[in-house]
Amino acid sequence: MEKALAGVRVLDLTHVQSGPSSTQILAWLGADVIKVETPGRGDVTRTQLRDLPEVDSLYFTMLNSNKRSLTLDLKSPQGKEVFIKLVGKADVLVENFGPGVVDRLGFHWEKLAELNPKLVYASIKGFGPGRYAGLKAYEVIAQAMGGSMSTTGFADGPPTATGAQIGDSGTGIHLVAAILAALYQRTVTGRGQRVHVTMQEAVLNLCRVKLRDQQRLAYGELGEYPNDTFADTVPRSGNASGGGQPGSAVRCSPGGPDDYVYLILQPVGWAKIAKLIGHPELAGDPEWRTPEARLSKLDKVFELIEAWTERRSKWEAMRKLNAVNIPCGPVLSTRELIEDPSLVVEVDHPERGRFKTVGCPLKLSDSPVDVVPAPLLGEHSSEVLAELGYSAHDVTELRTAGVV
């Protein structure tokens, strides 16, 4: 069965996480993604956080599966000639270099559009035009400057980073949407276009409910938050749900660091949960019966529930809560997640051997995804150059000159 993006060729000039996470999804969906890397070195993550000596790290292999690797010196005249041919045959070019790097190589947008009017040129940058435009961004910097850190953690603690890579991979997913939109628009206009996504704006988009609450503060305290006091900015609210229905993580037996279950307290569920935890009388008590009555004592509500969950494992608590239709879920550790075959896939790497990684989260009935190993450095250089019309002799000369 032909994949959704079969026939789409992507030049992947990305590195580290934000760009590779985006192009990996395109590759999973069937695009021919050619990762262009510096000869002899490649993507810096090949050697970062290595667990095995002289083997590509998990950091690299888990972000670059289903791609081909071409090494190319983009600073050399011969390398630029190869790149021009690549651009002429590409549908999409993706890069996440620092501001101005691609322009300094001589490949600004106007030049690329001239070489290939149908090209979609997609970039990830830390920040858009304005006061932060020239700054470099990393994952947690994006979290700090996009609204996530100031609203994550507990009121009496410092701003806290989230373990989810919303700055890098979150931006990469946003870029996938932009690229696919540009490719679709090209079917109507016949033209490519420039596509930008910034890490700060991607994080802010994921934090929009906090901007909602910032505006609500003008009309009074945020009743669904567990905080005792409010100033002029949205506070850190611990494990509060952040939505219209109260929620919290409550402790379970035997009391380990991840022995918690998170539950949402819907109005229709109060009578059921009151009975389950052994306090059926609270279902009809005017002091507890309505959501408004409970809102001022959410800490006491969850203390009562926790007194019940503390005597049960998170799995037992989940089963019993689900049995009465209470939305809940156990806090799963990374070990529990990686041991779940429904959530991860195993891949055979030619040097590393067998390892586990995430599968494609996008499920298309007519475009199933098989995750294959990330390429070795320059593994497909000869193959890609041959597709551009270079002979075996030409490739040997380019290798001798250090161009590939």
The number of C-alpha atoms within 13 Å of 130 and in the hemisphere containing its C-beta is: 8
β-bridge mates for residue 194, sequence order: 121
The DSSP-derived string for 106-158 is T--HHHHHHH-TT-EEEEEES--SSTTTT----HHHHHHHTTSGGGSS-TTS-
Give the single-character DSSP code of 243.
S
CB 364 within 8 A of CB 377: no
Known active-site residue 168: yes
Peptide bond preceding 341 in cis form (omega within 30 of 0): no
Whole-angstrom CA distances from 27 to 88, 305, 319 are: 20, 46, 38
Alpha helices in 252-290 (DSSP H): 270-276
- The C-alpha atoms of residue 216 and residue 234 are separated, in whole angstroms, by 9
Give the single-character DSSP code of 52.
S
The token duo for 144 is 């700090």
The catalytic position among 168, 285, 348, 394 is 168
CB 17 within 8 A of CB 165: yes
> Which positions are catalytic?
168
